[in-house]
Structure 1
Amino acid sequence: MTSLLPERAGRRCHNVLNPLHSTLFFSPDLERELAGIGIKNERAGYFATRAAAMGAVDAGTVTATFYNFRHELVARHVPEVWRTASPETVLAARLRAADATLRRLLGEDLVASEEVAEAAELALRATEACGRAARPLYAAHADLPVPTAPHLALWHAATLLREHRGDGHLAALLDAELDPVEALFSHTATGKGMAPKWAVGTRGWSRPDWEAAAGRLRERGLLDERGELTEAGTALRQDIETRTDRLDRAPYEHLGAAGVERLTEIARGLLMTAVAAGAFPEGLVGRG
């Protein structure tokens, strides 16, 4: 099928909407809201916050749908976290935190602006063409009610679009035969993903796990001795993104070229404002 959109238009839109959604996971507002319901461990909070839409799932479900976390790390916190707070309680805390985070990073005037309302309308229109089949994280979030406040409706729609693309991306990683650590390593090697110290530290993998993955990538001719992607490795990562684009094209084609361009424009401006307000820690992305 030939796309009616400019090349990579959907990916460019995702690349500004996704980090706008992700500001939540680095927010002191989320930490405060989770502590208020008894969840004080950072990893437990992340797993609960992102998985709550699926209900009180077990560790296996979280490991499968999150893909690049060590199962032993997940099992340390799930399903125990649901004994501290129910998924419904977590979802309510998450929405309060998203509200506080966006108001703090963007400011009250921007939150209440016509641009945010327009972006919410455009993003929600795009989600109308998302599909539930074989997309567990998207499907779970698609069953949640849409918030009435425009800035929260935008955050909700960004969540749906993020998880829709993410579910498809996992299919592309499986097809490329990259296991969770290999996927992380090869992504950080592009210089565009999470920096290695963050990837290793937050996903539960050890330095030996990391080095073993590098060895397997070298055996496949995807990584050189300096830890850089070879020509074949670069081509594979590009192919993964192209396959992900293809699996994720429906919402953006539904929105149309003009709508995608406008949504990307508004979301980019919102993201720049959030970044300038300190939304993310230094050194999060890159080779550092």
Structure 2
Amino acid sequence: MTTSLPERAGRRCHNVLNSIAATLYFSPDLGRELAAIGIKDSNGAYFATRAAAMGAVGPGTVTATFYNFSHELVAEHVPAVWLTASPETVLAARESAIDATLRRLLGEEVIASEEVAEAAELGLRAAEACTRSARPLYAAHADLPVPDAPHLALYHAATLLREHRGDGHLAALLDAELDPVEALVSHTATGRGMTPKWALGTRGWPRTDWEAAVVRLRERGLLDPEGELELTEAGVALRKEIEARTDRLDRAPYEHLGAAGVERLTELAKKPLLTAFAAGAYPEGMIGKG
């Protein structure tokens, strides 16, 4: 299908918005807000925060929609987390954490700027074209009310667009026949994913599962047969096709916004993102191969 957008324009816009949305999950403000309602474990806080829009779901739903987490890790925290705090309580705490995080990282001048308000308007306009079918995390968040404050509305729009693309990305991974650990290993091998240390430390997989996935990817000719975690030409081509397929599944919101709108939204969102980076929004050493 033809597109009116420049190549990868939607992906570039998503990458900026996704990075803004992801600041919450590394924020001490989130830990503080969740601890205040009784959720003190960092894994439990993550699962509750991201899954709460779906209601008091069980571990199977979280594992299915999050994809690359060990089901055993998920089941340690879900559904027990809902006995500590209801999804509604978690969502309220999450909004407080988002507000505190953005104010701390961006400062009041950026928060109150016309640029943030314009970015929120454009992001929400793009999200008008997102679709619920077969997109459970997006669909759940689409049922939440849009916050009144522009910086919170921008975060809400970024989350809608993040989860919409993410749901489609899982379909692309399934089509590529990459299981959760193979998806992690191959993404790490691109140099743009989490390091093995971060992946193993946050996703709940034992080292033996990681090493077994490496073997399977090598048998498929996707990883270099030597010791280095390097993609072969076939591996590079597969990861590129996965992203291209994800682009195709995610083109509707950006087509709806139009080329000029996508360019403007990307430009507007870059300023708060760079400000957040400079303020230490992300931990060092998270991305890469080693």
User: Which of the five TM-score ranges fits, normalised by the shorter chain?
Assistant: over 0.9
**TM-superposed deviation, 1:258:** 0.5
**TM-superposed deviation, 1:34:** 0.2
The reply to whether residue 234 of structure 1 matches residue 236 of structure 2 is yes
Q: 2:286 aligns with which of 276, 284, 287?
A: 284
**Following the alignment from structure 2 to structure 1, what is the Cα–Cα distance between the partners of residues 254 and 147?**
22
The amino acid of 2:8's aligned partner reads: R
Q: Hey, what does 2:271 align to over in structure 1?
A: 269
**Following the alignment from structure 2 to structure 1, what is the Cα–Cα distance between the partners of residues 57 and 267?**
37
**Following the alignment from structure 1 to structure 2, what is the Cα–Cα distance between the partners of residues 148 and 69?**
33
**TM-superposed deviation, 1:196:** 1.5
**Following the alignment from structure 2 to structure 1, what is the Cα–Cα distance between the partners of residues 287 and 121?**
30
Q: Hey, what does 1:43 align to over in structure 2?
A: 43
1:191-210 matches, within 5 Å, as 191-210=191-210
State the Cα deviation string for residues 101-125 of structure 1 (Å, max 9, x = none): 0000000000000000000000000
**TM-superposed deviation, 1:239:** 0.1
Q: Hey, what does 2:17 align to over in structure 1?
A: 17
Q: Hey, what does 1:88 align to over in structure 2?
A: 88
Q: 5+ unaligned residues in a row in structure 2: which ranges?
A: none
TM-score by length of 1: 0.99
Secondary structure of the structure 1 residue equivalent to 2:289: coil
Aligned residue pairs total 288
The amino acid of 2:13's aligned partner reads: C
State the Cα deviation string for residues 1-45 of structure 1 (Å, max 9, x = none): 201000000000011100100000000100000000000000000
Q: Hey, what does 2:253 align to over in structure 1?
A: 251
State the Cα deviation string for residues 148-168 of structure 1 (Å, max 9, x = none): 000000000000000000000
**TM-superposed deviation, 1:200:** 1.0
**TM-superposed deviation, 1:285:** 1.2
State the Cα deviation string for residues 229-251 of structure 1 (Å, max 9, x = none): 00000000000000000000000
Secondary structure of the structure 2 residue equivalent to 1:52: helix
**TM-superposed deviation, 1:193:** 1.1
Secondary structure of the structure 1 residue equivalent to 2:158: helix
**TM-superposed deviation, 1:197:** 0.9
**TM-superposed deviation, 1:54:** 0.2
**TM-superposed deviation, 1:269:** 1.4
- Aligned-pair RMSD on alpha carbons? 0.5
**Following the alignment from structure 1 to structure 2, what is the Cα–Cα distance between the partners of residues 270 and 185?**
31
Q: 5+ unaligned residues in a row in structure 1: which ranges?
A: none
**Following the alignment from structure 2 to structure 1, what is the Cα–Cα distance between the partners of residues 263 and 275?**
19
Q: Hey, what does 1:134 align to over in structure 2?
A: 134
**TM-superposed deviation, 1:57:** 0.1
Q: Hey, what does 1:6 align to over in structure 2?
A: 6
Secondary structure of the structure 2 residue equivalent to 1:228: coil
Identity %: 81
**Following the alignment from structure 1 to structure 2, what is the Cα–Cα distance between the partners of residues 227 and 115?**
42
Q: Hey, what does 2:99 align to over in structure 1?
A: 99
**Following the alignment from structure 1 to structure 2, what is the Cα–Cα distance between the partners of residues 108 and 165?**
30
State the Cα deviation string for residues 182-230 of structure 1 (Å, max 9, x = none): 0000001000111221111100011111110000000000001222000
**TM-superposed deviation, 1:266:** 1.2
Deviation beyond 3 Å, 4+ runs, structure 1: none
The amino acid of 1:143's aligned partner reads: D
**Following the alignment from structure 1 to structure 2, what is the Cα–Cα distance between the partners of residues 270 and 287?**
27
Secondary structure of the structure 2 residue equivalent to 1:2: coil
TM-score by length of 2: 0.99
Q: Hey, what does 1:109 align to over in structure 2?
A: 109
**Following the alignment from structure 2 to structure 1, what is the Cα–Cα distance between the partners of residues 49 and 195?**
22
**Following the alignment from structure 1 to structure 2, what is the Cα–Cα distance between the partners of residues 131 and 221?**
36
Are the counterparts in 1 of residues 105 and 276 from structure 2 also a CA contact under 8 Å? yes
1:153-164 matches, within 5 Å, as 153-164=153-164
**Following the alignment from structure 1 to structure 2, what is the Cα–Cα distance between the partners of residues 108 and 50?**
26
Q: Hey, what does 1:151 align to over in structure 2?
A: 151
